[in-house]
Amino acid sequence: MSQKIRTAPKQDSQSTGTIAVADASAQVSMDPFFHILKLVPYSFLRPPRLRLKLPSFSLPSAMTVFSLILLTYFMVVSGFIYDVIVEPPGIGSTQDPATGAVRPVVFLPGRVNGHYIIEGLSSGFMFVLGGIGIVLLDLALDKNRARSIKVSYSIAGISSVVIAYVPGYLYQSFELKLFY
């Protein structure tokens, strides 16, 4: 069997010579004013010795990171990007066929991929409330907490998840015209 031996590529002698000439021309300039401007100020001026400290950055606390992530989650699930791009109205309106009066409408019926701003914010709040309920249920599982605190976290977590689920279900039924 024949084995191929890899060797480093050979450098072109012209290209290395060109680089050396370019470096030499950068160091030696033909301009006499350049030499004067380069030498004269530094013959009698000395740069000060600065004792600057680099700013020290500390990591943010866990609660700050959690708050930023929760705020980002709220903005994503409430449709903030959709609201910026499409610019839907805050609430809609419909005319009552019997009386002719104009009634405000909070939910955009029949369109799953569209919403009014208030609808997006309220459904986003319900998603965040359900997420906080799950976090509270996780905190209730900590073995180092007192029993009364665990019970309080459990009750608050379960109620938050239920409170978030029921309006979320109703919002979807309003959106899909299933609830009358």
Q: Specify the DSSP class assigned to residue 58.
A: P
Q: In this predicted model, what pLDDT tens digit does every residue of 17-55 receive, in sequence order?
A: 455 555 555 566 677 787 777 777 777 778 788 888 888
Q: Is the pLDDT of residue 12 over 70?
A: no
State the Rg of the chain over Cα. Answer: 35
Q: What is the pLDDT of residue 130?
A: 96
Task: Compute the distance between CA of residue 170 and CA of residue 119 in angstroms, rounded to an integer.
Answer: 12
Largest Cα span, the chain = 95
Predicted pLDDT of residue 179: 47
Report the distance separating Cα 43 and Cα 36, nearest Å: 11
pLDDT higher than threshold 70 for residue 171: yes
Instruction: Identify the pLDDT of residue 6.
Output: 59
Mean pLDDT taken over the chain: 84
Neighbouring residues of 91: CB distance < 8 A, sequence distance ≥ 6 = 104, 105, 106, 116, 117, 118
Q: Quote the CA–CA distance of 136 and 156 in Å, as a whole number.
A: 7
Q: Which of 167, 155, 162, 157 is nearest to 132 (CA)?
A: 157
Confidence bin at 180 (pLDDT 50/70/90): very low
Report the chain's terminal Cα–Cα distance, integer Å: 82
Over the stretch 70-108, which tens digit does the pLDDT of each residue have? 999 999 999 999 999 999 999 999 998 888 899 998 888
Predicted confidence band at 9 (pLDDT cuts at 50, 70, 90)?
Answer: low
Residue 139 has pLDDT above 60, yes or no: yes
